[in-house]
A = this chain, B = another copy of it.
Amino acid sequence: MHRQGRPVLAMFPVRDGSAKSVFESPLGWRQVTAFAHRGDVLGLEDLDGQAHCTSAVAMQDTHCCVVPVETARAHLLSAEYREPMRSTLRRNAERERTLLVAIGSMKAAQRLAMLLLDLAGEQRRRGNAGAALTLAMSRNDMASYLGLTLETVSRLLARFATVGLITVRQRQLRIIDPAGLCSVYEDPERVPLRPPQPVTDSPSACAPGPARLDTTQGIHAAGTSVA
């Protein structure tokens, strides 16, 4: 694909698979700044520079097209492709800023909920409507993206699962209660409680708000059941 600092030779629409964008700061700190799936374009942001400012790393077997810079830049001016390309650029910039704010001022659970909702949304946007996600990235990648540690991500996923928001098994993830996840994303307080008192059977412990969580009560929080 492309590496940070290397000259810009092409952009790479992802045909199949998935990749992450990794940025290495001047001091050597490394952080995942974006995830790309089928339909996303790697190296798009760097088109009007000389050198790539991130590196792309595949997270699985991934195929992508290679569009040489001249062609790509021509597309940027063409009537046909200009708008979609710019729109994508804007969406990515917006997402990066949102991520900045998230890392800067939201709690870990909120950030993770954000990521999950985002991944689900992207998957929906590209056709796969099912609520079942297959995470291509490792816990470490998620943690890096969110400014957390892999342990925290793991623990939070477990907590999300025990309160019935999702089910996880390794990299198979299913969102059970999108509205609930969303309210976790929105409300700093609504962090899934750590086992406060060993509840007997109470239908999930989401506390205060109106938060119309549509009585998804039959949550058999045993975790791990989905295929």
Contacts and interface: CB of A to CB of B under 8 A. Distances in A.
B29 A105 contact: yes
Report, as a range, how many residues of chain A touch the other chain.
Answer: 20 to 34
Contacts of A53: 90, 93-94, 97
Given A31-B105, A104-B103, A25 B98 contact: yes
Interface in A83-113: 86, 90, 93-94, 96-106
A198 interface: no
Nearest to A86: B48
Contact of A29 (B25, B86, B101, B147): B101
Contacts of A90: 49, 53
Interface centre among A29, A94, A98, A100 (most CB of B within 10 A): A100
Contacts of A98: 25-26
A100 B29 contact: no
A97 B23 contact: yes
A23 B101 contact: yes
29 contacts: A23-B97, A23-B100, A23-B101, A25-B97, A25-B102, A26-B98, A27-B185, A27-B186, A29-B106, A31-B100, A31-B101, A31-B104, A31-B105, A33-B97, A45-B93, A48-B86, A49-B86, A49-B90, A53-B90, A53-B93, A96-B100, A99-B100, A103-B103, A103-B104, A103-B147, A104-B144, A104-B146, A104-B147, A105-B147
